Structure 1
Amino acid sequence: MTSKFLKLTSLTIALFAMGTGAAHAEYPEHPITLVVPFAAGGPTDVVARSLGAELGKILKQPIVVENKTGAGGTVAAAHIANSKPDGYTFFLHHNGMATAPALYKNLKFDPLNSFEYVGEVVDVPMTLLARADFPPNNLQEFIEYAKQNADTINLANAGPGAVSQLCGSLLQQAIDTKFTTIPFQGTGPAMTALLGKQVDILCDQTTQTIPHIDAKTVKFYGVTTKDRISKLPDAPTLDEQGLKGFDFKVWHGIYAPKGTPEPVITKFNGALKEALKSEPFKKKMADLGAEIVSEERQTPESLKNWVDAEIKKWGPILQAEGMNVN
C-alpha cells in the first residue's frame, strides 16, 4: 500500500507541475494595465497608447492605459511600487524616474530597488514653442526679448520633475534669464493653454508638438537635441542657433512592481521587442519624431544601468540649482 500511495503521490505532483506550467504558458489570462504618470493626451500618454495597441495584439489581451498624475510622476511610481506583482500591472515612465531622488526628499519608492525593469522604448526630442502671437519670430529674437521682458513671460510645464520642467530649467540657465513658471497636470493641459494663448512658452516633446508645428498654430524656435531630426529636417537646433551644448531628449522605459515573476518579465520583454519592430508602431513614432531605441537598450539590464547613470548625472545638477520639492 505504501508503494502504491507513493506512486499516486508522485503522479499527483507531476500533474500539478504540468498544470502550473500550463498556467504560466497561458499568461496573460485577462487585460493588463499600463500606468502612465501624466495626463491623457500628453506625449508620454501618446507613446503608451500606441505601444499598448501593439502589445495587445501580441499578448492577445487588451492593454488598458491608466493615467495616474501628480508630483512629476512620483504618485504613479509609488502606486506601482506598492502594486501586486502579479504580472498585470506595468508602468511607462521617462527621465523623471532618474530625477526624482534629487527633487523629492521623501520618496515612497527607490528607483533602483522598488521595481522590476523591462526595457527601454523610445527617445523623443523636445521642441521650444511659444503661443502663436508671441512677438519674437526666431530664437535670437526670443533671447533678446526674454532678457528685456523676463518678468512678463510665463513658462508652462508639467510640474516638478517633468521633462518639460527640466528642459525649461536648462533653457533659463542657457540664456541666464528667469521666467515665471506655471505648472500643469501634464503637458496635454499645458499645450491646451498655449494654444489658447494663456501661457507664453513651453518645452514639449515632438510626440505632441509636431502636429501643431505643421499646422502653424504655435511659434517654433527649434529642437533641443544636438542634431537635427528627420521629421523636421529644416528645423535648426538650439545648439546651432547659438545655445552651444544644448542637448536634451526624453527616454522612456517600462517597469513592473518588485517581485513580478521572472517568466512574466521575460514574456513581456519579448512582446515589447516584437512591438518595437511592428510597422504600425514604427510609423507612428516616425511621424511624431520619436526614435525607437536599439535592441541593446530594449533589455531589463540596459534600462537599469541607464537609470543608475542618469540618477548620478542629474543629482548634482538639480541639487546645485536648488531644484528641490520637499
Structure 2
Amino acid sequence: MKRRSLLIGGAAAMAAAWFGPAPALAQAWPTQPITMIIPFAPGPIDGVARVIAEAMGRDLGQPLVIENIPGAGGTVGVARAAQARPDGYRLLMHNIGMSTAPTLYRRLAYDPVKDFEPIGLMNRNPMVWIGRPNFPGSTLAEMVDYLRRQGAQANLAHAGLGSSSQLCAMLMQAALRMQATTVPYRSSGEVFPELSAGRIDLYCDQTTSALGQVHGRSVRAFALAAPQRLPALPEVPTTAEAGMPDFQLSIWQALFAPAGTPQPVIQRLNRALRVALADARVTARLTELGTAPEPEATGTPEALRELLAREVARWRPILQAAGEFAD
C-alpha cells in the first residue's frame, strides 16, 4: 500500500509539473500567444477567423495568431496541426473538408477523428448558386432548366478536390440526374474572374466568398442553399422558396487541437470561443461577412465530435459514387 501511494503521488507530481495543479490549470494557461492554423491560402475565410480570434484572445489574455498553410486541398496544413505538441498553443481551424479528406485522399497523413480533439463549432456558411452576368436566366428554375437542356455542354466551376464548391456541384448534378462539365481551379479567387468574364457558366460557393461579387453585380445570384434568407443577401431567395426544398448545404467551420491536448485546456478554449461568439461586435461582423455564429447548444466539443463522425459517414458514399480521388 505504501509503494502504491508513492507511485500515485509521484504520478500526480509529474502531472502537476507538466500541466499545473488541476484546479488552477484554466487560470495558469495560456502564458504565451496561440497559433491558429488555416489550411488554405489567405482569403475570405481569414475575415471570419480574425474577428473570432481577436475576441478569443481578449478573453484568454493572449493573442491568437493566424498562420495560413495551404496545399493539397487543405491536407498539408491539417497534417502540420496533427503533428503539433498537444499543449493548446497550436490549433486548427478547418471546415467540412475535415470530413471529406478520408475518402478523397488514399494516403492521408492523419486521421481527422483520432488525431484531433474537437474544441467547438464556430459558424456555418450557406452556399449560394451564382452564374456569369450574361447567363440566360435569373432564377433557380431557369438555371436548372439550362443545366438539363445543355447537359455536358454546360460547365460548372469548382475550387479544387474536396472543396465546398465541388461538393455543391456534385449534389446538384446528382439531384438533377445529369452530368455537366466540371472545371477545377485552385481557389475561388481564380474562379471569379473567369465567371465574371463569361467563360464559366455556373459556380456554387460559400456566401463569405461570394458576397462581394454578388453585391458588385459581377455575377448573377440564383438561390441560397439554406432554409432562411441571409441578412447580407436579402434579395436572394432560398432553394426552398425557389422550388428545391431538399437542396440545402451549409459549410461548417470549427476549431480543433492535436489529440492529447489536456481537457481543461480544451474546455478553456471552448469557453473563450463561446464568449467570442456571444460578443455583439463579433455577431455583427459575421453578419456583414454573410455567415452566423454557431448557437451555444451545438457549440460544445462533444457536439463537434458527433458532427464530424456523421459527416465522414455522410460524404463517403457520395464521393465514392463520384469516383474522384487524389493519389
- Retained in 1: the 8 A contact 2:48–2:289? no
CA 1:75/1:212 → structure 2, altered by over 3 Å: closer, same or farther?
Answer: same
1:27 aligns with 2:33: no
Question: Within 1, Cα distance between the matches of 2:283 and 2:128?
Answer: 21
**What secondary structure does 1:323 align onto?**
coil
Tell me, yes or no, if structure 1 residue 40 matches structure 2 residue 42.
yes
Given residue 46 of structure 1, which amino acid in structure 2 is its aligned partner?
G
Residue 9 (structure 1) aligns with: none
- Counterpart secondary structure, 1:315: helix
Matches within 5 A, 1:136-155: 136-155=137-156
1:76 counterpart residue number: 77
Call closer, same or farther: CA 1:24–1:209 in 2, change over 3 Å: same
Distance 1:281 1:103 in 2: 34
Contact 1:102 1:324 in 2 (8 A): yes
* Paired position in structure 1 for 2:123: 122
Checking the alignment, whether the CA contact within 8 Å between 1:207 and 1:285 is kept in structure 2 is no
**Counterpart code for 1:100:** A
1:1-326 matches, cutoff 5 A? 20-21=20-21, 25-42=27-44, 44-326=45-327
How far apart are 1:93 and its partner, in Å? 0.9
Contiguous gaps of at least 5 residues in structure 1: 1-12
Q: Structure 1: how far apart are the matches of 2:71 and 2:202?
A: 22
Change (3 A) 1:185 1:27: farther
Q: Does the Cα contact within 8 Å between 1:71 and 1:161 map onto a contact in 2?
A: no
- Cα deviation for residue 307 of structure 1 reads 0.6
Paired with 2:134 and 2:80, the residues of 1 have a C-alpha distance of 41
CA distance in 1, matches of 2:18, 2:147: 68
Q: How many residues align?
A: 312
Aligned residue identity for 2:169:
G
Match of 1:10 in 2: none
Shift in Å, 1:19: 11
- CA–CA separation in structure 2 for the residues paired with 1:218 and 1:105: 36
Contact 1:226 1:246 in 2 (8 A): no
CA contact (8 A) 2:239 2:247 kept: yes
Contact 2:26–2:268 (Cα < 8 Å) also in 1: no
1:122-170 Cα deviation digits (max 9, x unpaired): 1111101112233333223222333344444432222111111101111
User: Deviations 1:265-295 (Å, cap 9, x if unpaired)?
Assistant: 2221111111011112100112233122221
CA contact (8 A) 1:205 1:250 kept: yes
In structure 2, what is the Cα distance between the partners aligned to 1:78 and 1:323? Answer: 21
1:40, 1:188 within 8 Å by CA — same for their partners in 2? no
CA RMSD of aligned residues (A): 2.6
Q: How far, CA to CA, are the matches of 1:23 and 1:53 in structure 2?
A: 22
Q: Is the 8 A contact 1:89 1:256 kept in 2?
A: yes
* CA deviation string 1:194-243 (max 9, x = no partner): 34545332211111222322222210111012333344344222233233
Tell me by how many angstroms 1:303 deviates.
0.4
Deviates most, 139-148 or 168-177? 139-148
- Deviation (angstroms), 1:62: 2.4
Q: TM-score if structure 2 supplies the norm length?
A: 0.86
| CA distance in structure 2 between the aligned counterparts of 1:19 and 1:92, rounded to whole angstroms | 24
Give, in whole Å, the separation in 2 of the partners of 1:188 and 1:50: 21
How far apart, CA to CA, are the structure 2 residues paired with 1:24 and 1:18?
14
The gaps in structure 2 that reach 5 residues or longer are 1-12
Spell out, residue by residue over 1:18-43, the C-alpha distance to the aligned partner (whole angstroms, 9 max, x if none). 9945787343233211111222113x
Among all aligned residue pairs of Structure 1 and Structure 2, give the percentage whose two residues are the same amino acid: 38
- Against the structure 1 CA distance between its residues 23 and 135, is the aligned structure 2 distance closer, same or farther, given a 3 Å change threshold? same
Which piece of structure 1 moves more, 183-192 or 220-229?
A: 183-192
Q: What amino acid is the match of 1:308?
A: A
Q: CA deviation at 1:301?
A: 0.9
| Aligned partner of residue 118 in structure 2, secondary structure | strand
**Which contiguous aligned blocks of 4+ residues in structure 1 show a shift greater than 4 angstroms?**
16-24
Do the aligned residues in 2 keep the contact of 1:54 with 1:275 (CA within 8 Å)?
yes
Matched residues in 2 for 1:18 and 1:166: separation? 43
**CA distance change for structure 1 residues 67 and 115 in 2, over 3 Å: closer, same or farther?**
same
Secondary structure in 1 matching 2:182: strand
* Contact 2:147–2:154 (8 Å) recurs in 1: yes
Tell me the secondary structure at the aligned position of residue 28 of structure 1: coil
Report the CA distance shift for 1:191/1:281 in structure 2 as closer, same or farther (over 3 A).
Answer: farther
